[in-house]
Each structure stands twice: as C-alpha cells, then as structure tokens.
Amino acid sequence: METVGIYYRQSPVCIYQSHYTMIKKLSVNIVIFLALLLSNSTNVFSQKNDFVKVSDLKEISEKISDFSNSTNTLTSDFVQEKHLSVLDQAIISKGKFAYKKENKILWQYFAPINYTIAINNGKFYIKDEKKISKYDINSNPVFKQINKLILSSVKGDIVNSKEFDVEFFKNNNYYLAVLKPKDENVKKVIPKIKIFFNKTDFSVDVVEMIENSDDFTKITFSNKKKNQNLPDNVFNIK
Amino acid sequence: MYLISNKYIGLLIVVLLLIFASCSHKTTNNLKQTDLKFIDTVSIFPKGKSLIYKTGIDFGKKHFSGITIIKKTDSISNVVFINELGMKMFNFSFNSATGDFSVKYILEVLNRKILIKTLENDYRILLQIFEQNTKTKIFSSDNNKHLIKKVKYRKNIYYRYDTESKKINFISEKNSFYNILKIYLSYKKQVPETIHLQHKYKLSVKLNLIQN
C-alpha cells in the first residue's frame, strides 16, 4: 500500500521514467540471458560437437575390454599435429606405431625428422639419429603417467582407471573418453586428454592431449592392423 | 731447490703475462670503432616468422632431443621447446622493446634457476634482445672482411658480421679471460639453417632448421 501511495504521488513523468527504467532493465536482462544461453550453447557445440554424455558405462566397458582382450599386436600409421599459440601453422609429424601385449610400444617418426621412441620392459628409449637415450619410466612421474596413458589408450582399459577421472560421450561415429589426470604433477602438464574410439571396432582413432595454455597435440591413427605377427625384437632399439 | 723453484715461478709469471696480454687484445686488436650503425639493425632471425628447429642438447654424457620454435617480432618474441612426443618443455617470452624476459611455461622438472638463466641468456643473445640502454660498440677489421658488434650485457658479447655474405656467422660471449659461449651459424637464404651453441662447461645445443 505504501508503495502504491508513493507511485500515485509521482508525476506522470516520474511514472514514465520508472517504467522506462524497468523496461530498460528488463531488456538488458533479456539480452544478457540470451547472450548467456547462446554462449553456453556455442560452448557445448564447440567443445563436444554433437556428443552427448553417456552415463551407463557398462556397454562401453565391455566392448573396450573385448577389443583389448582380443588385441595381441597392433600396428598403424599416425599423423601428429602440434598446435601452439606461437605458431602460424601446426607442426605435422608422421610415422608408424606398433604395440604388442602387454606393454611394448614403438613410435617411429619419419617426417619431418627421424627419431624413434620405444617403451619396453619398463624402460623408455629415445633414438635421435644415432644417439640412444634410456630412461627408467618409474623414475619420472610424468613419463610414468604418459606411459600409462598410451598403454591405456591402446589397450582400452581406461573405464575403471585409477589414474584418471573419466567421462564418456558419444555421437554417430565415436565414443569420446575425456580423461583428467588425478596426479597433480601430471595435471600441470596435461590437464585434459580426449580419446576418440571408433564405434565400429572400438579401436582408438584419435588422441588429443590438451595443455593448460590451450596448446594441444592431436594424434590420428590410420591403416590399423590387428594381430599381425610382430617379433619382440621390433621393440629393441639399437 | 729454492733457486729452481724461483726460476720456474719467474717463467710462469712471464708465460701468464703473455697469455693475458694476448687474450685481452685478441678481439679488439686490428679493429677500429666505426660508425657502421647499420649492424644494429641486422637481425639473425627474420621477423614475424615461426622457425622450427630439430634440437639436440648434450650435457656431459646425457643427450636430450626435441623441437625448438623461435618466433621474433617487433613486440614479443617467443622460444618454445617441445619433446619428441609433442610435450611442451618450456615457453619463454621476450619483450622486444623493453628486453623484459618471462617464463610462460616450464615443465616442473626443468624449473631450475640456473637452467632458466642459461637458456634466457643463450636465446637473448641469439634474438639480440637486450634491456634498454645496453651499450654497444662497433668495430671493423683491417681488411674489412668482418665487422664486430660488441654488446656489454652482463658479460661482453661479440657478434661477427661477415661483409661478404652479409650475415652474422659467429657470436662469442666472454668473461675477462676466455670465451664462455661460442655460437656458430650457417644460413639457407635469409634464415639460419644450423645454429650450434657451445658452452665452456660441457653443454652443447645444436639447432637444425626443419621448417619455416
């Protein structure tokens, strides 16, 4: 009642001004609301494309496990893109990848430079031209986690990972696993990893490692061959 | 015995004096300061281009490798080092106008003051970015084959400009007595193709151009 009284005591100009102010405030609020809605939807689309979250992980878990259990060896070609804010274009590297159960991995880079990385028997080998550097994976927490990440990506045993918080999304072609490392040291280096599993055979098509500064590395696998004969000495760097 | 020792000490002093005398005159001997100020504008790296180098670092018996990206501009210049797996190891930034240096990112295991200071110094010298009011002098050799720019920044830095190729092909950093850093450069067209940084203390960095 008091408020009404105040209104009635106001001149029409005042009432007009009050309404004008109200409408103006409302318009501003609508514009802000729309902007938020738009920005939110833009985020959703830009980040996950048409991916929707998968809450029931049972089916994914089983299929990824099936792929892992039935894979003794895996070879493929790969293209690695390194996107850096200081670069006008991404650095593109190409090479061949090989995996053998349980934990043998080989990355051979042919372009633009030649070098080989091998993980074998708990050791990390890097061959640069003729020089070979050897590291104990367990001696460096970041190497250790990267090794686990690579192995988990290939073997697919990430659903119940103790090392990462995992969320799953899906669209028509892929299951997308978004991994966040639990270890603080690893989180500082790579806070987020995206793994795109091919929906047809549950092999990994793409891995994206996103850094704090939005710089990221994208590795795309192609020409994948499963369970071909792969002798152990392929993973021995000389 | 005493006399022999004195003889040797005398000889040693003469030898040392000769060494010091030759060292102190080695760089500036036969050189005259000129007003060839154009050298100040000679940049090792073309501006505005991201240059990508395969990088090998040897420290004692240890070998590290990866890729270095160098981008020089009139405002901010960056040096980024990534390892073979594409993991970023460090990202340094220099303000080209003020000479300010900042660490945008460094992997925790590399976050050591002495390492950062060494890398800052190396890339500052290569990028030729110094704080304002840094004193420079320019000399020319007698036969005019080379021009030498001397920059007084922490230590003395000498840039050797080859008048025939019109490029800086050698840099040295000296303390009072000897070279503590030598940098050898070769070029492909207007871009440094190989850069070899040789530190006095068993640290060697080799950069080979792979993309520009």
pLDDT digits (tens, 9 = 90+) for A93-111: 999 999 998 888 999 998 7
pLDDT digits (tens, 9 = 90+) for B72-100: 999 999 999 998 778 888 999 999 989 99
Question: ipTM > 0.95?
Answer: no
Mean pLDDT of A190-215: 88
What is the model's pLDDT at position A94? Answer: 93
For residues A34 and A151, membership in a common domain is answered with no
For residues A18 and A57, membership in a common domain is answered with no
Q: Is it the case that residue A171 has pLDDT exceeding 70?
A: yes
Query: What is the domain extent for residue A183?
Result: 52-91+142-226
Mean pLDDT of B166-179: 90
For residues A146 and A207, membership in a common domain is answered with yes
Mean pLDDT of B100-127: 91
pTM, two decimals, is 0.75
Percent of chain A with pLDDT over 70: 74
For residues A153 and A39, membership in a common domain is answered with no
Q: Is it the case that residue A28 has pLDDT exceeding 50?
A: no
pLDDT-derived band at B133, boundaries 50, 70, 90:
confident
Q: Is it the case that residue B43 has pLDDT exceeding 50?
A: yes
pLDDT-derived band at B31, boundaries 50, 70, 90:
low
For residues A7 and A85, membership in a common domain is answered with no
Q: Do B69 and A217 make contact, defined as CB atoms within 8 angstroms?
A: no
Q: In this structure, is residue A28 part of a structural domain?
A: yes
- Using beta carbons and an 8 Å cutoff, which residues of B are at the interface with A? 50, 52, 54, 56, 62-65, 67, 69, 71, 78, 80, 82, 84-88, 91, 104-105, 107-109, 210-211
Q: How many structural domains is chain A composed of?
A: 2
Give the distance from residue B50's alpha carbon to the nearest chain A alpha carbon, in angstroms. Answer: 6
Please report residues of B whose CB lies closer than 8 A to that of A190.
87
- Considering only residues B1 and A160, tell me which one the structure prediction assigns the higher pLDDT: A160
What does the DSSP assignment read for chain B? -HHHHHHHHHHHHHHHHHHHHHHHHHTTTTEEE---GGGGG--SS-BT-EEEEEEEEEETTEEEEEEEEEEB-SSEEEEEEE-TTS-EEEEEEEETTT--EEEEEE-GGG--HHHHHHHHHHHHHHHT---TT-EEEEEEETTSSEEEEEEEESEEEEEEEETTTTEEEEEEEE-SSSEEEEEEEEEETTEEEEEEEEESSSEEEEEEEEE-
Q: In this structure, is residue A161 part of a structural domain?
A: yes
Q: In this structure, is residue A29 part of a structural domain?
A: yes
